[in-house]
Amino acid sequence: MSRIRERWRPARLTCALLAVCFAFALAAAVPLLQRSASAQTEGRVPGNASGNVSDAEIWRQVRQGVAGSITIPDTKAAVLAQSEGDNWRSWRNGPIAVVGAVAFWVMFFVVLSFHNIRGPVRLSHGRSGRKVLRFSFIERFAHWLTAGSFVVLAITGVNMIYGRFLIMPIIGRDLFATLTQFGKYIHNYVAFAFMAGLVLIFFLWVRDNLWDRYDWGWIKKGGGLLFKTEHPPAAKFNFGQKTMFWAVIIGGTILSLTGLNLLFPFVFFDMQQMQWIQAIHGTVSQVVCMLMVAHIYIGTVGMEEAFTSMSTGYVDENWAKDHHKAWLEEIEAERAKDARTVPAGVPGAPAE
């Protein structure tokens, strides 16, 4: 028995030594474990390399827009993440893109339905052959300056919102990127022609686009457009044209001011305000594009003789009698002393 004990003595000593070491290790580890657990509950982790603040706290501050220290001139770069940009992106790719497209096509089908059901607005009594000058050279110049630049801005602008979904899958990333960059430059520079046109048409036509005594009668009869009844009298511009004029002036002014801020970013506004500026620019441009569908329709195939007023400047006297009777009466009153009319039978008109 004693021999067996003697044989296992080293093993017992080893076990006892291990037990003592384990007890010491446990005694030393308990406070450490307690301190670590306490630190974690306060959001802190041990270690000197990455600081003693948890990653969650760091990223929370980043998401809240905390600014760091930088040495480059662009102070905005100090903010690593600007979370309001997520709201802007969802607004731009959501309501502006989706609702804008839906509204545009709804207007397109309304116009198409009008055309199919009501048909183009014809002259009540055919052409008289006598021409009346409706728009002077400078008026037509101002109109086409605004209209031409608007079409360019609309195409390049629509590409910025919808191009990556509609065009990029067809032509590929590289070509799309090149075209869009080129289109952005065109958008930036043609905008100045649009603003010039806007100022011109405002000063040329504002006096004729104020409310007058014919407007209420025009509204009550729906402009004579919905049903084939007698057209209500109007001065140079009827209420529908006045609505379009003020929509273009107000919408165009908003687009110009917001566009200038996008062209010269961060001069007056900070990052979040710039995102609002862009959202307003995109929304208003969609509204104006929608209105232009109706304007282009009624100015071309929707109304007989309407386009010639902006191409040659002259309209048939019967057209003026149908749509702008009060204005024609003013013209006739001045006819004796004003050489605005062209004798019947003269091909074209000396517009310029």
Partner 1 sequence: MKAMGTAFAAIIVIAVGAAVVLNSVGVSSAERYASAAVRLN
Question: What does the block give as tokens for 201?
Answer: 């048409």
Q: Does 148 bind partner 1 (CB under 8 A)?
A: yes
Report CA torsion sign: 338, 343, 346, 348.
Answer: positive
Which segment (13-21, 30-38, 59-67, 193-201) binds partner 1 by CB under 8 A?
Answer: 193-201
Rounded Cα gap, residues 36 and 32, in angstroms: 6
Q: Does 73 bind partner 1 (CB under 8 A)?
A: yes
Q: Does 254 bind partner 1 (CB under 8 A)?
A: no
- Residue 131: CB atoms within 10 A of its CB come to 26
Indicate the residue type of 94: G
Name the helix (H) or strand (E) containing 54. none
Which segment (12-20, 100-108, 187-195, 296-304) binds partner 1 by CB under 8 A?
Answer: 187-195
Q: Does 152 bind partner 1 (CB under 8 A)?
A: yes
Binds partner 1 by CB under 8 A, chosen from 190, 219, 291, 296: 190
Rounded Cα gap, residues 258 and 84, in angstroms: 19
Binds partner 1 by CB under 8 A, chosen from 123, 160, 196, 219: 196
The b-or-e profile of 263-276 (16+ CB within 10 A means b, else e) is: eeeeeeeeeeebbb
Nearer to partner 1, 75 or 229 (CB): 75
Binds partner 1 by CB under 8 A, chosen from 192, 202, 245, 269: 192
Q: Does 71 bind partner 1 (CB under 8 A)?
A: yes
Q: Does 79 bind partner 1 (CB under 8 A)?
A: no
Binding map of partner 1 across residues 269-308, x = CB under 8 A, - = no contact: ----------------------------------------
Q: Does 142 bind partner 1 (CB under 8 A)?
A: yes
Q: Does 351 bind partner 1 (CB under 8 A)?
A: yes
Rounded Cα gap, residues 206 and 250, in angstroms: 12
Rounded Cα gap, residues 147 and 183, in angstroms: 18
Q: Does 313 bind partner 1 (CB under 8 A)?
A: yes
Question: What does the block give as tokens for 108?
Answer: 């397109």
Name the helix (H) or strand (E) containing 143. helix 137-166
126 phi/psi in degrees, rounded to 5:
70, -175
Q: Does 311 bind partner 1 (CB under 8 A)?
A: yes
Q: Enumerate the β-bridge partners of residue 315.
A: 132
Q: Does 264 bind partner 1 (CB under 8 A)?
A: yes
Nearer to partner 1, 8 or 185 (CB): 185
Q: Enumerate the β-bridge partners of residue 132.
A: 315
Q: How far is the CB of 292 from partner 1 (least distance, A)?
A: 17
Which residues are near partner 1 by CB under 8 A? 71-74, 137, 140-145, 148-149, 152, 185-186, 188-193, 196-197, 264-265, 310-313, 351-352
